[in-house]
Amino acid sequence: MAHFAKIENGTVTQVNVIDEDYFAENRETRYTGTWVQTSYNTQGGVHLLGGTPLRKNYAGIGYTYDEARDAFIPPKPFNSWLLNEDTCQWDAPVAYPTDGKRYMWDEEQQQWTEVETQ
């Protein structure tokens, strides 16, 4: 079994688990349009089980498929965030604090704000 993402106008609209032989046999009739294989074990250009990473990130609905990079890119979470060319993930303009506390991004202040836990 493998995962395939349907791409329409550069955007992922479906992700299906399909037997590879079945997909190949039905490619012309059932799976028309652009379909690209994706791996749920790939994140940030790293295969989580030590294998070969596939297309930088596992595809999700709403992700962009960048044909030139051959990569799936998640939606941009905030306008200020920048695309990391190595991982094809979005990085905040300020690094996430490493003090063990929980934070959320404040786009207006351009900073991480501690989340108070009760």
Residues 16 and 2 in one domain: yes
Residues 54 and 11 in one domain: yes
- Written as tens digits, the pLDDT of the chain (118 aa) is 999 999 999 999 999 999 999 999 999 999 999 999 999 999 999 999 999 999 999 999 999 999 999 999 999 999 999 999 999 999 999 999 999 999 999 999 999 999 988 7
Residues 30 and 63 in one domain: yes
Residues 26 and 62 in one domain: yes
Residues 12 and 31 in one domain: yes
Among 85, 89, 87, smallest CA distance to 75 is for 89
Q: Which domain holds residue 105?
A: 78-118
SS (H, E, C) the chain: CEEEEEEECCEEEEEEEECHHHHHHHCCCCCCCEEEEECCCEECCEECCCCCCCCCCCCCCCCEEECCCCEEECCCCCCCCEEECCCCEEECCCCCCCCCCCEEEECCCCEEEECCCC
Residues 55 and 95 in one domain: no
Residue 21 identity? D
Residues 89 and 69 in one domain: no
Beta-ladder partners of 35: 6
Say if residue 115 is exposed, middle or buried (CB neighbours under 10 Å; 0-12, 13-18, 19+).
exposed
Residue 116 identity? E
Residues 29 and 51 in one domain: yes
Q: How many domains does the chain have?
A: 2
Residues 67 and 89 in one domain: no
Statement: the pTM of the whole predicted model exceeds 0.85: yes
